[in-house]
Amino acid sequence: MNQKGGIGGFLVAVLIVGLIIGGIYVFYSKDIFKVVDQVTKDDNALYGVQINLIKNAAKRYYEIEISPTINVDTADTTHNITLQELGDKGYISLPIYNPKTKENFNTNIVITLTTTQNYRVIASIEEE
């Protein structure tokens, strides 16, 4: 019985298939890394949008409920409020999705509102 190729031919065929699959992987892996990078950038951008949403809600709360009731010359220039309080008062809809943690923001995070010398209100958030 005459075998053409035998085990050596089989190994060459496996090697060629392996090289083809490896080439395909290398070609598409660059695109996969680009997709992962873009998703990360999108999550960071969405996180920034969510943080700004929370800060703007806190500023509206301050302007409507706190600012009219204080004497700017003698009042404390810092006020704290939690995300839950903003939601309870109707300034923001809860829950709010946090794209960094893939969960909702903790409603106990504290937003600090500070009034500057020119009466500008700055909101800062105690990050999770």
pLDDT in tens, 8-66: 677 778 888 888 887 777 666 666 666 666 666 777 888 888 888 998 998 899 888 88
pLDDT tens sequence across 59-117: 899 888 887 776 656 555 788 889 999 999 999 999 998 888 889 999 999 988 887 76
In the prediction, which pLDDT does 35 show? Answer: 61
Containing domain of residue 107, as a range?
A: 39-125
CA distance 53 to 66: 19
Nearest to 100 by CA among 43, 50, 48, 41: 43
Number of domains comprising the chain: 1
d(CA 65, CA 61): 6
The whole-number pLDDT of residue 15 equals: 81
- pLDDT value at residue 120: 66
Residue 3 lies in a domain: no
Residue 116, SS3 per DSSP: coil
What is the distance of C-alpha 11 from the center of its chain?
Answer: 49
Residue 27 lies in a domain: no
Q: Is 98 within the bounds of a domain?
A: yes
In a domain, 83, yes or no: yes
- Residue 71 resides in a domain: yes
Please state the pTM of the whole predicted model: 0.64
96: left (phi over 0), alpha (psi -120 to 50) or beta: beta
